Amino acid sequence: MSKIIVSYRRSDSAAITGRIFDRLVDRYGEESVFMDIDRIPFGTDFRHHIQDALRDADVLLAVIGPSWLGKTADGKSRIIDEADPVKVEIEAALKQGLSVIPVLVDNATMPGAADLPESIRDFAYINAAPIDTGRDFRQHMDRLTRSIDGIIGTDNAAMEVVLARGYPDAPKTSWSARRMAAVVGSLAVVLGGAIIAINLMSERQAPRPMEQAKPQSPPPPRQEAGVPQTSPAPPPPMAQPVPTAPPGAGRPPVIAQPKAVPATTYRVLPNVSGGFQNLRRGPAVKYPIVVPIPAGAGGIELGACRPAEDNTKPWCQATWQGMSGWISSCCIVDEKTGQPPRVD
């Protein structure tokens, strides 16, 4: 499972870092995103603690605000202090060869090489990702998560979230969720057609009851010349055959099942933010994620809709690929008409 570390200075960018952390958790899961690794247990060397926390990480995001250098009262920068936790985090990440992404917030700029200690001077030359705290926040976060996806080496980062949330039978290949859905749907159509064909063949091959042969009357006796005609003796009564039930009697007739009328299904908009729309356990973003549904994925069946608990668009009960929960009506449309769900 991927591991993403968020490094920041509390006095510099605590609020926006919290928003960034929440978006990363929505996409990669709570088990993959870590913040505040510098909360050191008592009696522990914080340098060793940070090194251990970074040992199995994949990416370090260094959130940089206007006061990231940490100017002190005497005009010196905290970043040059050997005991500065932010400096120790970046230094350990660079030594371990981790991918380090500077994230610029609140119109901050990258520090110059002359502003940094020798051990992290290379940090000044890494290309940074700007994150706007206003209306462009979502677009900038989408661009950042695409970069992270390229680093952790998967085109379907949400599949790890599915596996971590108790779906051990989910496919562990590199196929995309959209391709998996197409394969499963094709198999279901083939299986349904085979069942219908077997039922039709069973009806055609069912034996029909045979008609009983009527008994033939014996031919009249021949009349010989000179012999008076006498009435022949009546033949002995023939035993009537006991009627037997025709094969298959007593069994219920095979009745072709009516075809179900397909219910209205919905799909996720192809340009949804982050590439996924989350199916959650309740009608608000505060509830845990059941499964992230990829952009453009269809086959979503909706139930009742209700107002959201967080003053956003209404939420609807939904089922997708056997998993049920709640989904926001903001980013789904009818697969046939392209219209959003109607919420009374």
Query: pLDDT at position 182, please?
Result: 56
Please state, rounded to an integer, the average pLDDT across all residues of the chain: 78
Provide the CATH topology of domain 4-164. Rossmann fold (3.40.50)
The answer for residues whose C-beta is within 8 angstroms of residue 263's C-beta and 6 or more apart is 301
Average pLDDT, integer, range 224-247: 55
Between 294 and 237, name the one with better pLDDT.
Answer: 294
278-335 pLDDT, tens per residue?
Answer: 898 888 888 888 888 988 889 999 988 888 776 778 889 999 988 999 998 888 999 9
Token duo for residue 235: 């033949």
* pLDDT tens, residue by residue, 15-60: 999 999 999 999 988 888 988 765 667 888 888 888 888 888 899 9
- Nearest Cα residue to 318 out of 276, 290, 286: 290
pLDDT digits (tens, 9 = 90+) for 260-283: 434 689 999 888 776 788 898 888
SS3 201: helix
Q: Model pTM? A: 0.48
The whole-number pLDDT of residue 162 equals 46
The radius of gyration computed from the CA coordinates of the chain, to the nearest angstrom, equals 38
pLDDT at 204: 62
Q: Which of 309, 325, 329, 308 is nearest to 317 (CA)?
A: 325
Residues of the chain with CATH 2.30.30.40: 265-334
Rounded CA-CA distance 33/160 in Å is 13
pLDDT at 217: 57
CA distances from 41 to 37, 109, 222 (A): 10, 33, 125
Rounded distance, CA 253 to CA 246, Å? 13
Identify the bridge partners of residue 278 per DSSP, sorted by sequence position.
292
CATH 3.40.50.10140 domain range(s) in the chain: 4-164
CB 131 within 8 A of CB 38: no
Q: Is-contact 162 180, C-beta < 8 A? A: no
| Residue 153 token pair | 């080496």
pLDDT of residue 53: 84
Q: For residue range 84-135, list pLDDT tens digits in order.
A: 999 999 999 999 999 999 999 999 999 999 999 999 999 999 999 999 988 8
pLDDT digits (tens, 9 = 90+) for 144-164: 999 999 888 754 445 555 445
Average pLDDT over residues 241-254: 54
Length of the chain equals 344
Percent of the chain with pLDDT over 70: 69
Task: For domain 265-334, give the fold.
Answer: SH3 type barrels. (2.30.30)
